[in-house]
């Protein structure tokens, strides 16, 4: 194989992979020098010149001329008789430059060059792939479904690189078939068995946030801020928004005229229901909005739980279908939440919270879960009944009664 044909094959391969000429030249030079080292023991006195534009390759060796009898086969020496074939005027001790032709290489050496170049090109391609997707973590990519497996949907990007969308990161509506064009969030890139692996997601809250920024210019421009998102992927989401400009209605801006903006995002997510909610520093107002603007009669804020009191007729609305409202509120507040039916007697009787000064909070929470919200409601039942209903130990129940009796006396 001549040098032009060999270089052309490498150039075409590099072009397909998007590898630039300077990088290819560097890899080619390393490959040829590795064979030179294998043949001569060193590459110190060698010069390799590669011209990809014209497909040219030149390799030169600089040697010191020695007498034929003193020649010991060193890479940096040449016999006087051989040097004078190149230039008759050459004399002992002078430097002579000889050209190495690729046709002088053995087929095994050509194979080593090819293997080295392809290996280095593959490594460089992997490095480019890693660097590209490392910068894209947290961004949305558009990809094509290539293969469906038990644990992953394998997709490819515009350069046919394989990316992985785990089944657990897909919506239950995502019934993909080969050839589908889909959007997904780049979650992370890991190295597995020496190769970079890109993992995608369609269930992350950030995926919804990025989709909204595509559809809503005010979000992209920072005029409307998405403060937090809670998702039950494929089912329902709550998006908390705030405007930095008092003239802009953040909710209406995100929804669009007749839902024009939010509908496209919902469709991408398998018709996931998306509630846009305006943020408020007033916790009771904020919680009311998250629960569908229910009227909250009372808010009981404990360290580890918030108890929301609403009228009986609003209980179902507050909890929401499949308890979506409560489940999403817990995610937004990062706190346990309980909705209970409001009773007028709560206003006239002592709140069970008075126990908090004397006993661990978890005990009060268990009492409330069992429906005991006032001191009077606890004292209205026997210790044995309280023990069963609140699932408390006898010793704890006895302590509760002693404390409540003391409170009542005071």
What would the DSSP string read from start to end of 225-240? EEEEEEEETTTEEEEE
Same domain, 67 and 25: yes
Does any domain span residue 131? no
Same domain, 143 and 243: no
Q: Which of 105, 125, 145 is the last residue of a domain?
A: 125
Splitting the chain (410 residues) into consecutive groups of 10 residues, what average pLDDT does each group show?
A: 68 75 83 82 83 76 86 81 84 83 78 82 84 94 94 92 95 93 95 90 96 93 95 96 91 92 93 95 94 89 85 91 94 90 73 81 83 80 84 85 75
Angstrom distances, CA of residue 196 to CA of 16, 122, 131, 188, 288: 19, 12, 10, 10, 46
Q: Which of 173, 203, 233 is the last residue of a domain?
A: 203
Q: How far apart are CA 299 and CA 307, in angstroms?
A: 6
Does any domain span residue 278? yes
pLDDT for the residue numbered 400? 85
Does any domain span residue 23? yes
Same domain, 218 and 155: no
C-beta of residue 332 within 8 angstroms of C-beta of residue 290:
yes
pLDDT for the residue numbered 4? 67
Same domain, 177 and 147: yes
Beta strands in 311-356 (DSSP E): 336-341
Which CATH number characterizes residue 268's domain? Answer: 3.30.300.20
Which CATH number characterizes residue 40's domain? Answer: 3.30.1480
The model's pLDDT over 115-140, given as tens digits with 9 standing for 90+, comes to: 888 888 778 888 888 999 999 999 99
φ and ψ of 342, to 5 deg: -75, 140
Q: How far apart are CA 331 and CA 61, in angstroms?
A: 71
Structure-token pair, residue 111: 């194979």
> Alpha-carbon torsion 172, 178, 181, 185, what sign?
positive
Give one word for 107, left, alpha or beta, with left for phi > 0 and alpha for psi -120 to 50: alpha
Angstrom distances, CA of residue 120 to CA of 34, 68, 97, 123: 13, 41, 30, 5
Does any domain span residue 130? no
Which CATH number characterizes residue 392's domain? Answer: 1.10.150.20
C-beta of residue 403 within 8 angstroms of C-beta of residue 378:
no
Same domain, 10 and 83: yes
Helices H, strands E: what count in the chain? 16, 15
Same domain, 182 and 238: no
Same domain, 81 and 174: no
Same domain, 210 and 192: no
Q: How many residues belong to the chain?
A: 410
Residue 174 lies in domain:
137-203
In whole angstroms, what separates CA 93 from the centre of its chain? 65
Beta strands in 244-315 (DSSP E): 273-278, 296-301, 305-310
Q: Which of 159, 182, 203 is the last residue of a domain?
A: 203
Same domain, 228 and 254: yes
Same domain, 189 and 167: yes
The model's pLDDT over 254-313, given as tens digits with 9 standing for 90+, comes to: 999 989 999 999 999 999 999 999 999 999 999 999 999 999 988 888 777 888 989 889
Number of domains in the chain: 4
Q: Is 316 helix (H, G, I), strand (E, B) or coil?
A: helix
Same domain, 215 and 308: yes
């Amino acid at each position: 194989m001549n040098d032009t044909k060999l270089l052309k094959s490498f150039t075409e391969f590099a072009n397909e992979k998007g590898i630039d000429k300077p990088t290819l030249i560097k890899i080619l030079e390393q490959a040829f020098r590795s064979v030179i080292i294998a043949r001569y023991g060193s590459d110190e006195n060698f010069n390799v010149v590669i011209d990809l534009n014209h497909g040219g390759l030149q390799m030169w060796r600089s040697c010191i001329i020695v007498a034929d009898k003193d020649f010991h086969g060193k890479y940096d020496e040449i016999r006087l008789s051989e040097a004078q074939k190149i230039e008759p005027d050459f004399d002992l001790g002078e430097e002579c430059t000889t050209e190495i032709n690729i046709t002088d290489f053995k087929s095994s050496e050509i194979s080593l060059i090819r293997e080295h170049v392809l290996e280095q090109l593959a490594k460089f391609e992997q490095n480019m792939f890693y660097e590209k997707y490392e910068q894209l973590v947290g961004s949305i990519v558009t990809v094509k479904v290539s293969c469906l497996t038990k644990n992953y949907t394998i997709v490819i990007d515009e350069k046919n690189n394989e990316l992985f969308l785990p089944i657990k990161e897909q919506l239950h509506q995502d019934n993909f078939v080969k050839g589908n064009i889909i959007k997904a969030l780049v979650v992370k890139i890991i190295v597995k068995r020496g190769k970079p692996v890109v993992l995608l997601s369609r269930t992350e809250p950030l995926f919804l946030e990025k989709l909204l920024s595509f559809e809503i210019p005010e979000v992209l421009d920072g005029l409307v801020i998405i403060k937090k998102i809670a998702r039950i992927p494929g089912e329902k989401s709550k998006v908390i928004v705030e405007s930095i400009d008092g003239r802009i209605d953040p909710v209406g801006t995100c929804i669009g005229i007749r839902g024009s903006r939010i509908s496209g995002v919902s469709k991408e997510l398998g018709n996931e229901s998306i509630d846009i909610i305006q943020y408020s520093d007033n916790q009771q107002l904020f919680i009311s909005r998250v629960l569908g603007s229910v009227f909250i009669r009372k808010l009981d804020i404990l360290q580890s739980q918030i108890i929301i009191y609403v009228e009986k007729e609003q209980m179902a609305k507050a909890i929401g279908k499949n308890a979506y409202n409560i489940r999403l509120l817990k995610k937004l507040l990062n706190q346990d939440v309980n909705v209970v039916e409001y009773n007028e007697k709560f206003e006239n009787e002592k709140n069970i919270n008075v126990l908090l000064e004397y006993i661990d909070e978890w005990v009060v929470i268990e009492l409330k879960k069992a429906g005991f919200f006032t001191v009077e409601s606890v004292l209205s039942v026997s210790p044995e009944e309280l023990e069963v209903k609140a699932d408390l130990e006898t010793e704890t129940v006895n302590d509760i009664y002693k404390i409540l009796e003391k409170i009542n006396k005071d």
